[in-house]
């Protein structure tokens, strides 16, 4: 367990150092989200609009921001030839978890920036009294998106036919987490009272995803099993 | 470590690479894998490394009488191949430390300095240099340092002297001989005549038969 954590953190640190030096991936995410936010703000002109629409816009921006970066997590390793080094010298699970952790923290930071800009641009339209629920829901949703994205990216990189596989699998895999988190966000925007139980579907999705990844990733990563 | 190929066949939709291959690879030897381009040298090494699975048959790895599979086996191997690249945006030292840590080896400064010395690199030339800025020969030496740091029992080398000068070629032969004298099994794919002299056995994939 100790070595799994240590190796996971080693992969996470490598990803962070590489991202700090090659800014392309996270700058693309940031620019995409800023463009989408500006556009929606101009279209709605800051006027009050339906909570469900606001919630959908919010999660669409986070979803597509995630998609601009998570597919690179393994594809770049495949194209640059480092994937075989990882396969020989690393274990499957720490590599997946390290990349998931990096993808999660990157997307979480971006989502927090998006949230503050969203509140600022739609000032007065979003009651955020229930901040703890909002951020708990955000963390669960962002974790689900980044973890599922990393898993699908690994699957696509290992597949013999890569073209379009990530995009095709994305919808059925990510919809189960996007639907509950969008629903909770809508309720928060509406100011409707709800219990912790509303967060359970996203939490379950994240737990099942982690469990499935731990059990299946060895079979995806290595051809000999 | 002993590796046994038992009735191994490997075919792709358009080509059969191996058909009913039976080979025993014993420890303490340098085994050269030779054959013309496309004869399956790299594929043979990938099978031995358990990186690909045969269409039929088995590639078994034994440590004494115990068969090793999955992670337990992978921890025993190190591989050097033209398909394996360093991270361009990490320095040579960062690459070395990263791959060693993945193996569970935490290298201190002295160990790193010794590894640079073993592979014929000057520390001041590589310490802060990004791997993407290294010459192909220096990059190959850094990859070999990563290889040595793994302290593996099975050495899998695919054209290890590619891009290396004569000193580099001698260094790899010397290190491989030293490792096999200590009981390691070295599998070495090459077509270089000069490297054949270092071999204890030769597997010629052009006619599949094993020639001593």
Q: Which two tokens stand for residue B83?
A: 């398909």
Model pLDDT, residue A193: 74
Give the residue numbers in A contacting B (CB under 8 Å), as ranges: 3, 6-7, 10-11, 14, 17-18, 21-22, 80-82, 84-92, 94-95, 218, 222-225
Residues of B in contact with A88 (CB under 8 A): 49, 51, 74, 77-79, 84
pLDDT at A1 over 80: no
Model pLDDT, residue B205: 84
Alpha-carbon distances, residue A75 vs A222, B35, B81, B107 (angstroms):
16, 32, 20, 29
Cβ–Cβ contact B86 with A under 8 A: yes
Residues of B in contact with A102 (CB under 8 A): none
Residues of B in contact with A224 (CB under 8 A): 50-53, 59, 69-70
Nearest to B102 among A7, A21, A225 (CB): A7
- Return d(Cα A224, Cα B6) in angstroms, integer: 15
pLDDT digit string, tens, across residues A114-168: 998 888 887 655 665 678 889 999 999 999 999 999 888 888 877 766 667 777 7
Contact B88 A80 (CB under 8 A): yes
Q: Please give the torsion angle defined by the CA atoms of residues A107, A181, A153 and B76, in that order, rounded to the nearest 10 degrees.
A: 80
**Positive or negative: CA dihedral B44, B50, B54, B57:** positive
The two most distant CA atoms of chain A are separated, in Å, by 58
Closest residue in chain A to residue B146, using alpha carbons only: A89
For residue B11, name the pLDDT band (cuts at 50, 70, 90).
confident
CB A92 within 8 A of CB A217: yes
Phi-psi category of residue B156: left, alpha or beta, with phi > 0 → left and psi -120 to 50 → alpha: beta
Under DSSP, is residue A73 helix (H, G, I), strand (E, B) or coil?
helix
A89, containing H or E segment:
helix A83-89
Nearest to B87 among A6, A18, A92 (CB): A18
- Return d(Cα A142, Cα A167) in angstroms, integer: 18
Opening angle at CA B160, ends B29 and B6, nearest 5: 45
Give the start-to-end residue ranges of the domains of chain B.
Answer: 82-148
Let me know how long chain B is: 212
Domain count within chain A? 1
ipTM entry? 0.89
b/e map B52-64, b = 16+ CB within 10 Å: bbbeebebebeee
A96 Cα to chain B: minimum distance (Å): 13
Cβ–Cβ contact B107 with A under 8 A: no
Cα A2 to chain centroid, rounded: 26
Cβ–Cβ contact B94 with A under 8 A: yes
> Of A210, A212, A23, which Cα lies nearest the Cα of A101?
A210
B79 Cα to chain A: minimum distance (Å): 7
Cβ–Cβ contact B80 with A under 8 A: no
| Average pLDDT score over chain B | 88
A–B: how many Cβ contacts below 8 A?
82
Which residues is B211 bridged to in the sheet?
B202
Closest residue in chain A to residue B90, using alpha carbons only: A18
- Return d(Cα B25, Cα B5) in angstroms, integer: 8
pLDDT at B47 over 50: yes
pLDDT digit string, tens, across residues A78-124: 888 898 899 999 888 999 999 999 999 999 999 999 998 888 887 65
B86 Cα to chain A: minimum distance (Å): 6
In terms of residue numbers, what domain contains A41? 2-221
CB B18 within 8 A of CB B54: yes
Q: What's the average model confidence in pLDDT over B68-74?
A: 87
Cβ–Cβ contact B113 with A under 8 A: no
For residue B106, name the pLDDT band (cuts at 50, 70, 90).
confident
For residue A195, name the pLDDT band (cuts at 50, 70, 90).
confident
Residues of A in contact with B71 (CB under 8 A): 91-92, 218
CB B150 within 8 A of CB B80: no
Cβ–Cβ contact B72 with A under 8 A: no
Phi-psi category of residue B199: left, alpha or beta, with phi > 0 → left and psi -120 to 50 → alpha: beta
Contact A7 B101 (CB under 8 A): yes
B57, containing H or E segment:
strand B56-63
Opening angle at CA B198, ends B195 and B203, nearest 5: 80
Work out the number of other CB atoms within 10 angstroms of the CB of residue B4. Answer: 16
Mutate to test the interface with A, among B14, B87, B147 (most CBs of A within 10 A): B87
B24, containing H or E segment:
strand B15-25
């Amino acid at each position: 367990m100790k070595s799994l954590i240590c190796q996971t953190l080693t992969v996470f640190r490598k990803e962070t150092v590489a991202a700090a030096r090659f800014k392309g991936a996270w700058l693309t995410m940031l620019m995409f989200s800023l463009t989408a936010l500006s556009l929606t703000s101009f279209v709605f002109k800051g006027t009050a609009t339906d909570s469900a629409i606001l919630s959908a816009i919010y999660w669409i921006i986070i979803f597509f921001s995630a998609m601009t970066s998570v597919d690179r997590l393994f594809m770049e390793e495949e194209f640059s030839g480092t994937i075989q080094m990882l396969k020989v010298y690393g274990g499957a699970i720490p590599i997946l978890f390290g990349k998931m952790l990096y993808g999660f923290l990157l997307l979480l930071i971006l989502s927090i920036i998006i949230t503050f800009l969203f509140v600022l641009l739609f000032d007065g339209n979003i009651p955020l009294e229930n901040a703890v629920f909002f951020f708990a829901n955000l963390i669960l949703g962002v974790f689900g998106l980044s973890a599922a994205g990393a898993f699908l990216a690994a699957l696509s990189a290992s597949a013999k036919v890569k073209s379009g596989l990530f995009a095709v699998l994305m919808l059925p895999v990510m919809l189960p987490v996007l639907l509950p988190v969008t629903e909770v966000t809508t309720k928060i925007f509406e100011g409707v009272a709800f219990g912790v139980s509303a967060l359970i579907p996203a939490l379950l999705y994240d737990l099942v995803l982690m469990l499935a990844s731990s059990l299946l990733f060895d079979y995806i990563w290595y051809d000999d099993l | 470590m002993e590796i046994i190929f038992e009735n191994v066949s490997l075919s792709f939709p358009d080509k059969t690479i191996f058909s009913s291959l039976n080979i025993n690879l014993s420890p303490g030897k340098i085994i050269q894998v030779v054959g013309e381009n496309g004869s399956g040298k790299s594929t043979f090494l990938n099978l031995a490394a358990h990186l690909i699975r045969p269409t039929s048959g088995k590639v078994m790895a034994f440590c004494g009488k115990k068969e090793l599979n999955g992670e337990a086996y992978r921890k025993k191997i190190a591989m050097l191949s033209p398909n394996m690249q360093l991270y361009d945006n990490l320095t040579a030292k960062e690459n070395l430390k990263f791959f060693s840590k993945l193996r569970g080896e935490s290298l201190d400064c002295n160990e790193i300095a010794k590894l640079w010395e073993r592979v014929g690199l000057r520390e001041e030339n590589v310490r802060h240099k990004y791997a993407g800025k290294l010459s192909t020969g220096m990059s190959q030496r850094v990859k070999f340092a990563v290889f040595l740091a793994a302290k593996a029992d099975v050495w899998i080398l695919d054209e290890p002297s590619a891009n290396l000068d004569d000193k580099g070629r001698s260094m790899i032969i010397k290190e491989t001989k030293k490792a096999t004298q200590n009981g390691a099994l070295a599998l070495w794919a090459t077509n270089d005549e000069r490297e054949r002299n270092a071999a204890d056995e030769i597997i010629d994939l052009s006619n599949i038969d094993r020639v001593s």
